[in-house]
Amino acid sequence: MEREKISRKRRGIAVLTLAALFFWYLPQIQVSRQIRKEQEEAVEMYVREEKEENKEENEKSEEVQEQEPGSTDQNLFRTIDFTGLRSKNREICAWLWIPGCALDVPVAHGQDNAYYLTHDAFCRERIYGSIFAPCDTPEDFSERHTILYGHNMRDGTMFGGLKKYREASWEQEFPYLYLYLPGEAWQCRIWSVEETDAKSDVYRLGAWSDADWNAWVQERKENSIIFGSGEEKKVQKILTLSTCIGDGSSSQRLAVHAAVEMIFATKSGREEGSVLE
């Protein structure tokens, strides 16, 4: 009889534990679904892929791309409806696509660095915020170094997927990310990944002398957790993606640096593409 009571008590504790875990995870599951649903809706509404009649030709181009370095990445030909996006929020400045993180979202550029921590790019209050550029970033992203920030979500959404790039094998499988601006598309290769402090020199912006830039780039290379699989060449422009490590309570950050290899003029056709060497 005593043994049966103990058994019932243990079962009761197990049920309560499972119930507590369920109710703890449920809000996170709901948030994860909401993020993915809203991202899919935004892509469907504001992103246009290549026309169907060009699909076969483009697929052939992708197959031989590694053998023909001069060929243009077909992912640069996506069209983003910035007019539609800015009718919702005039502070939307770009669109970021990271195939290796399944992230395909608008980028905001606010008047401070706090608002988009708690609001998405469409100004809706969201705990996952938005991917955003610091307020002192030039609107055309014309400086040598551009930074984008995003939350490290536990489910891997937003910039939570960047941690995958700690593994060199992930960079080899998904070496590129893409940034789209009005009139431009950037092809960026993952080049360096480092863990750093929020106040470190990693986050330097503004004007650079050539000597300072070369020294900073060399430091990023030396501090990298991985070694990018791309061809070694002079890095002229870098896009850095930054997120918290852990729950954000410390000043530690994960910074993924992508070298901008091509800037393509989306309004003027393929001839306008320029390789940064």
Positive or negative CA dihedral for 140, 243, 157, 236? positive
Q: Could you tell me how many residues make up the chain? A: 277
User: By C-alpha distance, which of 40, 243, 256 is closest to 131?
Assistant: 243
The single-letter code of the amino acid at 9 is K
Residue 242, pLDDT score: 97
Domain residue ranges of the chain, discontinuous segments joined by +: 27-50+73-275
What would the mean pLDDT of 141-151 be, rounded to a whole number? Answer: 96
Question: DSSP labels for 162-195?
Answer: GGGGGSHHHHHHS-EEEEEETTEEEEEEEEEEEE
pLDDT surpassing 90 at residue 5: no
The single-letter code of the amino acid at 122 is F
Pairing status of strand 238-244 against strand 145-149: parallel
Specify the CATH superfamily of domain 27-50+73-275.
Answer: Sortase (2.40.260.10)
Segment (H or E) for 6: helix 2-46
Joined together, the tokens standing for residue 225 give 């957790």
pLDDT surpassing 60 at residue 17: no
At 232, is the pLDDT very low, low, confident or very high (cuts 50, 70, 90)? low
What would the mean pLDDT of 53-58 be, rounded to a whole number? Answer: 42
What would the mean pLDDT of 132-150 be, rounded to a whole number? Answer: 95
Among 14-28, 33-47, 172-186, the minimum mean pLDDT is found in 14-28
Give, rounded to a whole angstrom, the gap between the first and last alpha carbons of the chain. 80
Torsions phi, psi for 268 (to 5 deg) = -120, 10
What would the mean pLDDT of 111-138 be, rounded to a whole number? Answer: 94
Segment (H or E) for 59: helix 55-63
* DSSP bridge pairs for 109: 133
At 125, is the pLDDT very low, low, confident or very high (cuts 50, 70, 90)? very high
User: By C-alpha distance, which of 135, 129, 134 is closest to 150?
Assistant: 129
Residue-averaged pLDDT of the chain: 81
Among 90-99, 131-140, 260-269, the minimum mean pLDDT is found in 260-269
Residue 234, pLDDT score: 86
pLDDT surpassing 90 at residue 65: no
